[in-house]
Chain A
Amino acid sequence: EDQVTQSPEALRLQEGESSSLNCSYTVSGLRGLFWYRQDPGKGPEFLFTLYSAGEEKEKERLKATLTKKESFLHITAPKPEDSATYLCAVPVQGGSEKLVFGKGTKLTVNP
């Protein structure tokens, strides 16, 4: 069964304290791994798509990387506005829009 596991469940950082979030997956024939950000009371917001091991994508203070078994979301010098829940997802057999999401990492950045 296709699975996505994210760790840690919650992470508290001080402003400027860099860290990484982990997303491990078990899926046959990976057809992309997607990162989303979700703010309280809102729907998830798309961040990145990664397709192959070794691929990296960057956006402001975020950098996503992919290996054959996991993906990391690196947050460099975070700011309080980076506080959110970060979700990763993979498409499963049967359709590209049928995504399996991890349960997310809730990131809190204190000023």
Chain B
Amino acid sequence: KAGVTQTPRYLIKTRGQQVTLSCSPISGHRSVSWYQQTPGQGLQFLFEYFSETQRNKGNFPGRFSGRQFSNSRSEMNVSTLELGDSALYLCASSLDRLPGELFFGEGSRLTVL
């Protein structure tokens, strides 16, 4: 069974640019969550999508957005990048009947220069 796939794995951007990250969940998983991981703050919840609807949102500015497609694949977008957005962005999928049991991808490491 294929795991959660995130692309790209690494990317470098400059301040002011925007970035789109992609996540393909495990087949059959309809819930997709996004987390930001930094050395200082650890793992922080960004948002969760279920059946193409945003079900939960974390405390991040509006520059961070996401969406989910009918095949459960998800994308997140960060506009007007800031240096502080440098982080590992992790996507996780789950079965709705097993809350908290998240299957994470390997992440997309974003560096903002």
Contacts and interface: CB of A to CB of B under 8 A. Distances in A.
Interface of A: 31-32, 34, 36, 41-46, 49, 87, 89, 91, 94-104
List 3 tightest A-B contacts by C-beta distance, closest first: A43-B104, A96-B99, A95-B56
A97 B105 CA distance: 15
Main secondary structure of the interface of B (DSSP, over half): strand
A89 B56 contact: no
Interface string B36-66: 0000001111001000000110100000000
Contact of B106 (A43, A97, A104): A43
Contacts, number: 65
Contacts of A45: 104
Main secondary structure of the interface of A (DSSP, over half): loop
Contact of A43 (B48, B55, B107): B107
B104 A97 contact: no
B100 A97 contact: yes
A37 B86 CA distance: 23
Contacts of A101: 35, 42-44
A97 B102 contact: yes
Nearest to A42: B106
B90 interface: yes
A95 B55 contact: yes
A102 B56 contact: no
